[in-house]
Amino acid sequence: MSPVTEKGETSLMAKAIREGIFAAIISFFMFLLFVGVETYQDINNALVWRMRWGLLFIFVAIAAIGRFLTVAFIKPHLDARKLSKAKSGILEISTQKSFFHRHFLKIALVFLLVYPFLMMLIVGKQGSLKYVDNFGIQILIYVMLAWGLNIVVGLAGLLDLGYVAFYAVGAYSYALLSSYLGLSFWILLPLSGIFAALWGIMLGFPVLRLRGDYLAIVTLAFGEIIRLVLINWTEVTKGTFGISGIAKASVFGIWSFDVGAPNNFAKVFGLASSSVYYKVFLFYVILALCLLTAYVTIRLRRMPIGRAWEALREDEIACRSLGINTVTTKLTAFATGAMFGGFAGSFFAARQGFVSPESFVFLESAVILAIVVLGGMGSLTGIAIAAVVMVGGTELLRDMSFLKIIFGPDFTPELYRMLLFGLAMVIVMLFKPRGFVGAREPTAFLKERKAVSGSFTKEGHG
């Protein structure tokens, strides 16, 4: 027996070495121009170049060694694991769940409720600002946006590449109406949602007949149109300068967070003035908005309209022949998804105090869509996990000053943020094409609710 495996081992090694050398050659030619040659402007502002052999060598070596390790060790290991799993006959989705698994949602909710105070306890008032604002609020905004988009993409199966347009509509509705008419946050929050929903219907009408990728490009175009109008309609939107000095939200008009106001929150309670209170308040507002989104999504899935969405995703023709009105089904999906985008937008404007078209580029739509797909379309928990991983991960890179000790003082992790984000998107998708949470809980079932693999749900063709 041993000679056979030995022969297998050597041939595997030989193959791995061959593949490694091949990868080295390919990567050498790929990186020769872009990494090997550095272009920069000299003192006379003329473009000149110099070779970077060292860096090129590192890139090639990484490619070669990576390929060698993949072929020699990682792939056989993965194959063996897959084989043993298939042999043992245990399905991936087991009914036995750990305590943490069963109570995951409760634990997460409790954690989120105490999160700002926990952070204040651990790192102090000023230190917690970063964690509450950059991590807490930032991630929750993306969770909310992704849950909103999930209604369109995950439930109704309509591929929307311009979701950020509704986010922009919400943000600008709040920014413009509060600065021109002086309306308060709590009036404008629902109004922004309604405006965004109207825009959703406006987008919905022309694309009703379109399917799949035609739908995708028109939604993308719609997002770009909104952004270009925001840039160019300078009389109203102030163009690329954006609108600044947007009014802060207040606690239902009872306490204000403006420093000069007589009913300032800190003054009323006799606390030292600090910007932390406002951030903590905003944290709970966005948390409430997220919970609202989740609640509405869960309830809608059980209502006729939600079932119609999912039916539309699975098979449009069958849907139509069963008498479902696909026009209203699609329009409500667009409008509902857009409404949550609008809520998130007005919240964003209140939090930043500043909006400009820069915040609503296509990349944002792509990031939101990526979170929805990486989380496992249709699964609220999965999407929340994906948002934490992707947004939190890239936020973490912003303040990794210890990396400077390793790579030298010139190293700026900020620069690599989006590069790593893109790579992470690719890698997660390759290993988990169905997203983090691949199982689906059906809304309609016979006798007993059973989770099914995500592979059995369709993604819809628009």
Partner 1 sequence: MRKMGRTIQEMRPHRRTASRGKQMDYFVQQLINGLTLGSIYGLIAIGYTMVYGIIGMINFAHGDIFMLGGFAALIVFLVLTSLFAGIPVALLLLVMILVGMLVTGLWNWTIERIAYRPLRGSFRLAPLITAIGMSITLSNFIQVTQGPRNKPIPQLVTDVYHFGDITIALKQIVIVVLTAVLLAAFWYIVNKTPLGRAQRATEQDRKMAALLGVDVDRTISVTFIMGAALAAVAGAMYLMYYGVSSFTDGFTPGVKAFTAAVLGGIGSLPGAVIGGLLIGLIESLWSAYFSIEYKDVATFAILAIVLIFKPTGLLGRPEVEKV
Helix, strand counts (H, E) of the chain: 20, 6
Q: At 198, which helix (H) or strand (E)? A: helix 185-207
Contact between residue 362 and residue 301 where contact means Cβ atoms under 8 Å apart: no
Say whether residue 169 binds partner 1 (CB under 8 A).
no
Stretches 2-10, 109-117, 206-214, 272-280: which one binds partner 1 (CB under 8 A)?
206-214
Query: Residue 314's Cα: distance from chain center in Å?
Result: 24
Say whether residue 430 binds partner 1 (CB under 8 A).
yes
Contact between residue 310 and residue 155 where contact means Cβ atoms under 8 Å apart: yes
Select from 137, 405, 422 the least CA-distant residue to 280.
137
Say whether residue 373 binds partner 1 (CB under 8 A).
yes
Q: Report helix, strand or coil for 8.
A: helix
Say whether residue 406 binds partner 1 (CB under 8 A).
no
Among 194, 229, 296, 451, binds partner 1 (CB under 8 A): 229
How near is the Cβ of 208 to partner 1 at its closest, in Å?
9
Site string for partner 1, 288-317 (x = CB under 8 A): -----------------------------x
Among 13, 14, 21, 33, binds partner 1 (CB under 8 A): 33
Among 140, 220, 282, 385, binds partner 1 (CB under 8 A): 220
Question: Which residues share a beta bridge with 354?
Answer: 244
Say whether residue 387 binds partner 1 (CB under 8 A).
no
How near is the Cβ of 277 to partner 1 at its closest, in Å?
36
Contact between residue 452 and residue 440 where contact means Cβ atoms under 8 Å apart: yes
Query: Residue 169's Cα: distance from chain center in Å?
Result: 19
Contact between residue 426 and residue 390 where contact means Cβ atoms under 8 Å apart: no
Interface size with partner 1, residues (CB under 8 A): 64
Q: Closer to partner 1 by CB, 395 or 459: give it.
A: 459
The pair of structure tokens assigned to 427 is: 């890698």
Among 1, 4, 43, 415, binds partner 1 (CB under 8 A): 415
Cα 225–Cα 419–Cα 378 angle in degrees, nearest 5:
65
Stretches 47-55, 189-197, 306-314, 328-336: which one binds partner 1 (CB under 8 A)?
47-55
How near is the Cβ of 40 to partner 1 at its closest, in Å?
7
Q: Closer to partner 1 by CB, 341 or 460: give it.
A: 460
Torsion over CA: 257, 260, 266, 267 (sign): negative
Helix axes 362-375, 413-431, angle to 10 degrees: 40
Q: What is the dihedral of CA 142, 144, 145, 149, to 10 degrees?
A: 130
| Residue ranges that bind partner 1, judged by CB under 8 A | 26, 29-30, 32-35, 37-41, 47-49, 153, 159, 206-207, 209-214, 216-218, 220-222, 224-225, 228-229, 231-232, 317, 362-363, 366, 369-370, 373-374, 377, 415-416, 418-419, 421-426, 429-430, 433-434, 455, 458-459, 461
